Structure 1
């Protein structure tokens, strides 16, 4: 990749990675351990935080794609970019709507233990895949 495109792609990729790690793997699990945070309050906070994170991710994904597209990327860079963007698209288009329906039900008073949803597990698994893809992408573009 051209040096400017690689620098931009690397910087934006690592910014995206840092945001995902901070929110998905620190904020999300810790908020439910804070004193006085009930499941409905935690869900309400989580929905707002993840809505903002996902919007930021979409913007960062566009920036990464643009930087990669203008830089004469290798096949590895194209593949890793495609994986990260596809995972985000899957999270936003498939998993998040299921999570929203589930949190709507809990916020409406349904007992959270009544019907367990696997959507959260799918989202976390996709987050792990996305983190690995972003880490590899950032390393590959900066290694040149």
Structure 2
């Protein structure tokens, strides 16, 4: 299998695990980090993560085109990429609006967008594990 697709997949998974499941929740536990500061940091970090994810998705696709893998590999790659697109198109704009409201000093209704983002992130991480294992098989 393509070393490019393998490397891109595992790097992508590592970044998602490190940022989404480690950095994001921990930043709110740091002394002196209030909600507004945490959201401002999170907005920057997740913009960078999502950009890196998009680049890595392209790397994976290029590697898969070169390798011409079977259907299982293609399905896992499509799932991971589709979940990323869903996060970026359907969930991130809602999160951005809520973050902008809080950063402007206004209170508003709580959003369920964060829960949707986390659920999609768990599914995307699972798809990346399946893809990475399938690429190594």
Normalising TM by the smaller chain, what interval?
over 0.9
* Structure 2 match to 1:64: 60
RMSD over aligned CA atoms reads 0.8
How many correspondences in the alignment?
A: 137
Residue 94 of structure 1: how far off its partner (Å): 1.0
Note if 1:91 corresponds to 2:82: no
| 2:136 alignment counterpart | 142
Equivalent residue runs for 1:1-80 within 5 Å:
3=1, 5=2, 7-80=3-76
TM-score by length of 1: 0.93
Unaligned runs of 5+ in 1: none
User: What TM-score do the two structures reach when normalised by structure 2?
Assistant: 0.97
Q: 2:115 aligns with which of 110, 121, 129?
A: 121
Q: 1:29 offset after TM fit, Å? A: 0.3
